[in-house]
Amino acid sequence: MATGQSETEDVVIWRDIARILFSGEMTPRIGELGSQCTRDDRVKVEEVFGGSESHIKGRKIDLFFQKQLPGFKKPLELFSWEAKSMNAGTDQLQIQRRKNMRINACMANKTSSIAGFVGSVTKFPLPGPVILDIEGHRALPYVVRKVEPGVFGAGTVTASKPMICLPDVVDSIEGFLDEGHLSALLSLKV
């Protein structure tokens, strides 16, 4: 992966990796699509505080995962990964990480709210999907879990290898294989 790639190019690479990891289990979608879960939550907030819901749109997401369930018209939004290019600043990355946590908490809330209804059809809620904050060829994996009603927590997946780094040049392939990056990548498949 060449340095200086656009965010879109990075998202396509991570989407292709997700397709391999989750083949057939769920659908990874890209293209800054709006999340219905986040739109629904924003509408609820506007109703409580007396605002207008006429122009509310869902949060735009770089890469999100859906699963079509029997008996549902629309696919269920499971979790999202957000991306920034390698030249993004620290402040921009922190803003992105907080946005990603809020989006995934929203999706986890929606998933857990229908878990009783779907329980016998499939394995929901999923056991804490691994979320990625992507920065070029690197990604920080973590989980967002519902701790109690209305409360979510985020935590790292592994202490030994906090970042997954894809090889970006031939010389970095050995490190990718020997330093645990490949096993960390494969651990994304829950």
Evaluate if residue 40 carries a pLDDT over 60.
yes
Instruction: Give tens-digit pLDDT for 131-170.
Output: 899 999 999 888 877 666 666 777 776 656 678 889 988 9
| Amino acid 81: pLDDT | 92
Kindly state the DSSP code that residue 60 receives in the 8-state scheme: E
Asked whether 15 and 28 are in contact (CB, 8 A), the reply is yes
SS3 84: strand
Evaluate if residue 101 carries a pLDDT over 70.
yes
Q: Which of the two residues, 123 and 151, has the higher pLDDT score?
A: 151
* Average pLDDT of the segment spanning 123-133: 64
What residue segments make up the domains of the chain, in order of their start? 7-186
Rg (CA), the chain: 17
Mean pLDDT of the chain: 79
Residue 95 CA to its chain's centroid (Å): 15
Instruction: Give tens-digit pLDDT for 7-20.
Output: 888 999 999 999 99
